[in-house]
Amino acid sequence: MVIKFYLTNAQKESKLRIAILIGRSYQLKIASKFTIEPKHWDSKNQRAKKTMIGYEVLNQSLDELKMNVLKYIRELQLIEKLDWNQLTLHLRSYLQPEKLKRSHILELKPNEQALVSVINVFLVARTVEYKPETTRKYKVLEVVLLDFQEVRKKPILVQDVSFALLEEFRLYLLNERNNRNDTIYKMLASLKCLIRWMLNNGYQVDPKSLEVRQKVKVKHDIVTLTEQELQRLEDVKLNAFHSPIRDCFLFQVYTAQRFSDMQQLSPDQINGDTWKFRSIKNGKDMYVPLVGWCRKAKDIGEKFGFCFPKYTQQYFNRELTKICRLAGIIEQVKLTRYQGSSLLQMQKPKCDWVSSHTARRTSVSLLLAKGVPPTVVMKLTGHSSIQTMMRYERTTNEVLVNSLLAFS
């Protein structure tokens, strides 16, 4: 799959179109919100030229749009393999939500509207407060509800929302889609948030629908790296393509920050030994002192001028697995998950479990093991509750023994 940008008019200032290409057979071109004069556009390198005022901002926005589209396509394909026509419909809805025809919605009474159409109304109402990652969750929910309608062989109207419908949806996720309990829990949480908004905005839905429950093991098995494994990552010799990915991951480890926030790093966010930025996921103002544990992150950032190469998360995770394998992080690891009442045990080499999010989990786990108070770690990670952060805590037997020996 290739994603490129084209000018809609080569003679005057016009919008850039985003083109999604799969081979020579499938092409989708959609106008973006970005405009540029032809003299400032470098079609070969797909960048705005330095002759344009604000070219850096536009290029960064185009990179982010490209990564978001790739991530959205991946999420859709993880749910179900879609044909090209289905995919184009979802992409048009995702890239041009303002062009959704809502006239037929206005003609209907609220309770006669299709539930999936209300999702777009809900997202328009929450545009200011919802970040792109949150919006994508509801786009995924929309896809799943459309599939659920196909199984039921009839549209789901607002007036159909009830305890019985949500329980039917829960069982559909479990038995038809074979989703694990934690996935079902998150899907129902998104749907319940939509229902609460509907209740507060005059839609006549059954409030008992919110009583549907999905049990989920709050603290399930996760993978973190040891300090010895981090050292192996630092020491392993890599090629010019893999070395920056390894450094990006280690920067995350030594700052305890998310992939999206590492990717938005820029020199203006650094002031001496401090990194200040606004988190992409939750909009919080973050403060990361680049001292002590975080000092290595400053050294890594300086190598790149505090501006890392841009990667899609899918590509980053795939190459990170290869890097960890080269570093010898290959011990067999077994993780436990639940699907309904069934216990699922999955075993793979540790490198196959590692992703960008492993960095944040590793940082929290190691800091807590070193005796850093949980409230201090929360200050660094930006977690709102200690319960959420403690899901990342993994006390090893070695740490347990050493802690007890300290009192001997």
Compute the distance between CA of residue 393 and CA of residue 387 in angstroms, rounded to an integer. 10
**What is the distance, to the nearest Å, from the Cα of residue 59 to the centroid of all Cα atoms in its chain?**
21
Instruction: Give the least confident one: 130-134, 186-190, 217-221.
Output: 217-221
246 & 354 share domain: yes
- 93 vs 107 pLDDT, higher one: 93
383 & 250 share domain: yes
Domain membership flag for residue 221: no
Q: What average pLDDT does range 185-205 have in this prediction?
A: 90
pLDDT in tens, 63-75: 888 888 887 777 7
pLDDT at 290: 95
Instruction: Give the least confident one: 153-157, 218-222, 290-294, 353-357.
Output: 218-222
348 & 300 share domain: yes
What is the total count of domains within the chain? 3
Domain membership flag for residue 216: no
- 396 vs 83 pLDDT, higher one: 83
Confidence of residue 195 (pLDDT cuts 50, 70, 90): very high
pLDDT at 22: 73
Confidence of residue 101 (pLDDT cuts 50, 70, 90): very low
pLDDT at 105: 40
The answer to whether residue 106 scores a pLDDT higher than 50 is no
234 & 360 share domain: yes
pLDDT at 341: 59
Q: What average pLDDT does range 401-405 have in this prediction?
A: 53
pLDDT at 282: 75
CB atoms within 10 A of CB 366: 22
192 & 251 share domain: no
236 & 362 share domain: yes
Domain membership flag for residue 218: no
Domain membership flag for residue 217: no
Place of tokens 């492993």: 358
The answer to whether residue 233 scores a pLDDT higher than 90 is yes
158 & 40 share domain: no
CB atoms within 10 A of CB 204: 12
Q: Are 1 and 19 in contact (CB under 8 A)?
A: no
392 & 308 share domain: yes
Instruction: Assign residue 68 a region (left: φ > 0; alpha: ψ between -120 and 50; beta: otherwise).
Output: alpha
pLDDT at 165: 93
- 76 vs 186 pLDDT, higher one: 186
Q: What average pLDDT does range 343-369 have in this prediction?
A: 88
Element housing 32 (H / E): strand 26-36
261 & 181 share domain: no
Boundary (domain end) residue, out of 211, 240, 268 = 211
pLDDT at 183: 85
Q: What average pLDDT does range 188-202 have in this prediction?
A: 91
Residue 32 one-letter amino acid: S
Strand order in the sheet with 26-36: 2-7, 14-22, 26-36
- Hey, which residues does 270 pair with through a beta bridge? 275
Domain membership flag for residue 266: yes
261 & 396 share domain: yes
Nearest CA to 311 out of 242, 396, 402, 215 is that of 242
Whole domain around residue 400: which residue ranges?
Answer: 227-405
252 & 355 share domain: yes
Nearest CA to 118 out of 110, 126, 128 is that of 110
Boundary (domain end) residue, out of 163, 185, 211 = 211
pLDDT in tens, 244-259: 999 999 999 999 999 9
pLDDT at 267: 94
Compute the distance between CA of residue 223 and CA of residue 358 in angstroms, rounded to an integer. 7
Q: What average pLDDT does range 38-50 have in this prediction?
A: 89
Mean pLDDT of the chain, nearest integer: 83
Confidence of residue 28 (pLDDT cuts 50, 70, 90): confident
Domain membership flag for residue 219: no
Q: For residue 241, give Cα distances in angstroms to 59, 247, 319.
A: 21, 11, 9
pLDDT in tens, 368-402: 888 888 888 988 988 877 777 776 666 555 555 55
Instruction: Give the least confident one: 28-37, 107-116, 140-149, 307-316.
Output: 107-116
- 128 vs 210 pLDDT, higher one: 210
User: 288-293: which pairs have CB atoms within 8 A and are 24 or more residues apart?
Assistant: 288/255, 288/256, 288/257, 288/380, 290/255, 293/254, 293/363, 293/367, 293/370
The dihedral built from the CA positions of residue 250, 255, 261 and 264, taken in this order, carries a sign that is: negative
Boundary (domain end) residue, out of 211, 241, 268 = 211
**What is the distance, to the nearest Å, from the Cα of residue 56 to the centroid of all Cα atoms in its chain?**
24
pLDDT at 182: 81
CATH code at position 360? 1.10.443.10
| Biggest distance spanned by C-alpha atoms of the chain | 80
- 126 vs 188 pLDDT, higher one: 188
Nearest CA to 151 out of 115, 176, 118, 170 is that of 176
Domain membership flag for residue 220: no
Compute the distance between CA of residue 194 and CA of residue 132 in angstroms, rounded to an integer. 17
Percent of the chain clearing pLDDT 90 (strictly above): 36
Instruction: Give the least confident one: 2-11, 82-91, 131-140, 290-299.
Output: 82-91
Domain membership flag for residue 341: yes
340's tokens:
């309904």
Percent of the chain clearing pLDDT 70 (strictly above): 82
pTM exceeding 0.75: no
Instruction: Give the least confident one: 108-112, 229-233, 380-384.
Output: 108-112
181 & 58 share domain: no
